[in-house]
Amino acid sequence: MKHIKKLSASNKRWIAVFAAVIVCCILSIILIKNIGGRTAVIYKDGREIARIDLSRLTESYTIPLDGNVILVEPGGIRMQSADCPDQICVHQGVLHDTGRIVCLPNRVLIEMQHTKDAPDAKAG
Amino acid sequence: MKKTKRIALDAMLAAVALLLFIVEALLPPLTSIPGIKIGLANAVTLAAVYLCGRRDAAAILFVRVCLGAVFAGNPTTFLYSASGAVLCLAVTCAVCRPLKKTVWVVSVLGAVAHNIGQLLTASVLLQSAAVFWYLPYLLIAAVISGTFTGLCVQFLLHRLQYRKGESQ
């Protein structure tokens, strides 16, 4: 069991490299979580389908999109149902301020953006 | 190694890889982030690179990805697993010799390449670079799962070497 008794120098070096990678990733995740806004943008096949300012909604409604049904409610957006087998997008739950929901099988992307970046917010 | 023995060993490794792939596909998703899994089937690819050589490992991987799509997937998942597998194999083959002593590092680098390949495919299919926001999550997952499967292979290779020395 010589191979697990002590760590060689190259093992230690690689552990340090990967630890640094993980720390960088955690830092960037924290950064990503702190940017974003209250406008939800829905993309299908890379094209923008809808841009919804969640903070101005007063009642909830659903958007059917092929196999997916998106539920929009005041202050939140979620994938209500999907026809894909894994249901990952449904389990991702509700988006409030930041984050994104991706449905890979149906190529649907829901993304939260800064409201001030949204063109219709400027018009309003 | 005799040709017949080599073919039999390759076929067995391909069967093991396929089995691991299917069993893993049956497990519920570990997290809400798509694309995160243990990657047990990659352990077989990695072991094959060292046991049978790079060309045979590529053949085993090809069989596993194609049959895996038939048994536990659809055309879209095939695209994701194929793109990840090709990039993973390329990186594994490139670094397997210089990093022979630290097999787990080869595994982690392969896992990182696999996830980057999948993200590239996702960005093409979704026509959006937004999927790269997932990169930090996927990198963390790749380091953890790659270390796990890599250590499995490292211990396996060590035992096989030990047995070989014993029988001689």
Predicted pLDDT of residue B165: 61
Name the nearest CA neighbour of A32 among B134, B3, B75.
Answer: B134
Using the structure block, give the residue that is written with the tokens 């250590």. Answer: B151
Looking at beta carbons, which pairs linking A64-72 to residues 24 or more positions away fall under 8 Å? A65/A106, A65/A108, A66/A106, A67/A106, A68/A103, A68/A106, A68/A108, A70/A42, A70/A108, A70/A110, A72/A40
Using the structure block, give the residue that is written with the tokens 């630290």. Answer: B102
Q: Which of A6, A7, A18 to mutate to test the interface with B (most CBs of B within 10 A)?
A: A18
Confidence check: pLDDT of B76 > 90? no
Mean pLDDT for the stretch of residues B39-66: 92
| B35: region left, alpha or beta (phi > 0 left; psi from -120 to 50 alpha) | left
Confidence check: pLDDT of B99 > 70? yes
| Residue B72 to chain A, least CA–CA distance (Å) | 11
Contact call for B139 and A93, based on CB within 8 A = no
Residue A7 or residue A108, greater confidence: A108
Predicted pLDDT of residue A7: 73
Predicted pLDDT of residue B49: 93
Q: Hey, what domains does chain B have and what are their CATH numbers?
A: 3-167 (1.10.1760.20)
Confidence check: pLDDT of B128 > 80? no
Q: Are B37 and B139 in contact (CB under 8 A)?
A: no
Q: Does A15 touch chain B (CB under 8 A)?
A: no
Mean pLDDT for the stretch of residues B127-136: 81
Predicted pLDDT of residue B166: 58
Separation between Cα atoms, residue A45 and residue B123, nearest integer Å: 10
pLDDT tens, residue by residue, B22-50: 888 888 777 777 778 888 889 999 999 99
Q: Which of A119-123, B2-6, B15-19, B69-73 has the highest average model confidence (pLDDT)? A: B15-19
Beta bridge partners of A102: A109
Contact call for A25 and B137, based on CB within 8 A = yes
Mean pLDDT for the stretch of residues A47-75: 83
Predicted pLDDT of residue A4: 54
| Residue A46 to chain B, least CA–CA distance (Å) | 4
Contact call for A26 and B105, based on CB within 8 A = no
Torsion sign across C-alpha atoms A54, A57, A58, A62? negative
Confidence check: pLDDT of A121 > 60? no
Strands A94-95 and A100-103: unpaired
| A29: region left, alpha or beta (phi > 0 left; psi from -120 to 50 alpha) | alpha
Predicted pLDDT of residue B95: 93
Mean pLDDT for the stretch of residues B84-98: 93
Separation between Cα atoms, residue B111 and residue B117, nearest integer Å: 10
Separation between Cα atoms, residue B12 and residue B52, nearest integer Å: 12
Residues 6+ apart with CB under 8 A from B20: B40, B41, B43, B44
Task: Name the token pair of B168.
Answer: 């001689």
> Which of A 16-75 lie inside 8 A of B, CB atoms?
18, 21-22, 24-26, 28-29, 32, 43, 45-47
Predicted pLDDT of residue A5: 57
Predicted pLDDT of residue B59: 94
Of the candidates B131, B134, B143, which has its C-beta nearest A18's C-beta?
Answer: B143
Of the candidates B29, B128, B140, which has its C-beta nearest A109's C-beta?
Answer: B128
| Residue A123 to chain B, least CA–CA distance (Å) | 25
Q: Model pTM?
A: 0.71
| Residue A61 to chain B, least CA–CA distance (Å) | 24
Predicted pLDDT of residue B8: 93
How many Cα atoms are found within 13 Å in the side-chain-facing hemisphere of B32?
12
| Residue B63 to chain A, least CA–CA distance (Å) | 23
Of the candidates A18, A21, A111, which has its C-beta nearest B130's C-beta?
Answer: A111
